[in-house]
Structure 1
Amino acid sequence: MALNTEIAFLSKIPLFEGFSEEMLRLLAFGSERRTIEQNRYLFHEGTAADCAFVIASGRFELTRKDRKGKPRVVGEAMAGDLLGELAIISATERKLTALALENSETLRISRPMFRRMMEEYPQIATLLRRRINANLATMLHSINALSPQFDNDNNKS
């Protein structure tokens, strides 16, 4: 993928909306392109995460272990999806396993590179804070919408 194509592609990723072309250019230039062959793992649940992956092409099956330790399919990721975005901001571990369902291409965004971007462009931190606040508000709204169901169950006991 040419640099200008990568910039246009990254601009469509929700986490990077509002980034200037200069920021996106730095992000594209600092990203590492990786080819993942079909039936190969991108990462495993429980391993340390030091980067995020943007899927440029292909598809990944996402699994999580159930209480008995057996992998359970929880979704599928495809071109345009960002996996492990929390890892570019803070130390964490993978919550899922990602297996390539076909030959796939990813852009690896490392935490050190993203932190350097935030140092150079402090407005990135402001954009991220707004997105995190919006995501938390949405999550709290969803939880509040579910709470009457639990209140009714408790009243029946």
Structure 2
Amino acid sequence: MDTIQINVFLKKIELFQDLSEGERGVLSKYFEVKSYSQNDLLHVENSPRKNLYIIYEGEVELFKKTPFGEERRLSIFTKSDFFGEGVFIDDTPHSTSSRATINTTLLELSADKFFELEKKEPQIPIKIFSRMAKVLFRRMQFANTRIINHGAQYQSGRTRSEHDLLGDRDVPHEVYYGIQTLRGLENFNISGVALSFYPVLIEALALVKMAAAKANFDLGLLSKPVADAIVQACQEIISGKYHGHFVVDMIQGGAGTSTNMNANEVIANRALEILGYERGDYKYCHPNNHVNLSQST
């Protein structure tokens, strides 16, 4: 892999979104490409931090050992995810371990190389640190959430951009909800009791959405692939999956619009995966135009 290919790939990574084409070109020269086989360890808990890791292809699991020696998986990282950026801030040991679950190719930026870059091109690290602050803030939010909800998903720092009538927002890549749920979380932070506390309500919402998709298909308003994907997503939710992504507060204004949109977005994003698309690629399955078709709150 040459520096041109690395430059093109880095353009997709959130940490480097503020860099110009030329700055990314300079940064590309400092990365090392490394390949790992299945079950190879990248780093071990309590070992010194050395690198920022970006997954070019493959899959990496982050895990931690309990006091009894059992391994507990924290998250799975896939293409374009990054981790280990704390190496540029302090030299404390790793608090977790990581290993490749399949054959994996990584881009690695060592702390030594980063600080060498800082001396030659100081504006590049400044821009990276600005983005890094947002990533660390989201990971701190995860830590707070996990105190209450042990099923919360560790956030890789990767995001996707979504748009509504109020503008654009970055949504954590891992979540199945979208921008309107994000706004609901901000506007109605009231009781601290989320929809996920009431699985029967979530199942009921999925039943309604599944029935609507079937009716809309019969009326010729939804194509068969989209209708089938929505139905499958609803069936998975009814069977207990993805309940952790129903996150809006049970107490809210707006006649339950946030609850409705939370369901629409989770179903739409799961349906997109079933169809073979990325979460947030709503032109193929939209929370309002497809999942909520012919419905009100």
- Shorter-chain TM-score bucket reads 0.7 to 0.9
Over 3 Å counting, the alpha-carbon distance change for 1:137 and 1:81 in structure 2 is: closer
Shift, 1:58, TM fit = 0.2
Q: Which amino acid aligns with 1:131?
A: R
Match of 1:5 in 2: 5
CA-to-aligned-CA distance 1:63-113 (integer Å, 9 cap, x gap)? 012343421001001111112011134312212211111111011101111
Contact conserved, 2:41 with 2:98, CA < 8 A, in 1?
A: yes
Q: For residues 89 and 22 of structure 1, do their structure 2 counterparts lie closer, same or farther at Cα, with a shift above 3 Å needed?
A: farther
Tell me whether 1:44 sits opposite 2:48 in the alignment.
Answer: no
8 A Cα contact 2:35 2:105, kept in partner: yes
Query: Where does residue 107 of structure 1 map in the other structure?
Result: 107
- In the TM superposition, residue 133 of structure 1 has moved relative to its aligned partner by 4.5
Q: 1:43 to 1:137 in 2, by over 3 A?
A: closer
Distance in 1 of aligned mates of 2:99 and 2:78: 11
- Size of the aligned set, in residue pairs, is 148
Aligned partner letter, 1:30: Y
Q: Structure 1 residues 133, 5: closer, same or farther in 2, change over 3 A?
A: closer
Instruction: Give ranges in structure 1 of 5+ residues lacking alignment.
Output: 150-157
C-alpha displacement at 1:137, in angstroms?
A: 5.8
SS in 2 for 1:30: coil
Runs of 5+ consecutive residues of structure 2 not aligned to the other structure: 145-184, 193-297
Alpha-carbon contact 1:88-1:109 (below 8 Å) kept: no
Task: Please name the residue that 1:152 is paired with.
Answer: none
Are the aligned partners of 1:89 and 1:115 in contact in 2 as well (CA < 8 Å)? Answer: no
User: In structure 2, what is the Cα distance between the partners aligned to 1:117 and 1:25?
Assistant: 12
Deviation at 1:57, TM superposition (A): 0.6
Q: Distance in 2 between matches of 1:121 and 1:94?
A: 28
| Greater shift in the superposed pair: 46-55 or 91-100 | 91-100
Residues 1:53 and 1:132: Cα distance change in structure 2 (over 3 Å): closer
Q: Match for 2:35: what amino acid?
A: T
Partner of 2:148: none
Contact 2:16–2:131 (Cα < 8 Å) also in 1:
no
The residue type equivalent to 1:6 in the other structure is I
Give, as a single letter, the amino acid of the residue that structure 2 aligns with 1:48. Answer: P
Q: How far apart, CA to CA, are the structure 1 residues paired with 2:7 and 2:21?
A: 7
What residue in structure 1 maps to residue 60 of structure 2? Answer: 60
Aligned-pair Cα RMSD in Å: 2.7
**SS of residue in 2 equivalent to 1:73:** strand
CA contact (8 A) 1:55 1:80 kept: yes
- How far did residue 123 of structure 1 move? 2.2
Partner Cα separation in structure 1 for residue 41 and residue 21 of structure 2 = 32
TM-score (norm 2): 0.44
TM-score (norm 1): 0.79
Paired-residue identity, %: 26
Alignment of 1:4-153 (within 5 A): 4-135=4-135, 139=140
Tell me what 1:155 maps to. Answer: none
Q: Distance in 1 between matches of 2:53 and 2:131?
A: 18
Secondary structure of the 1:25 match is helix
| Contact 1:44/1:96 (8 A) holds in 2 | yes
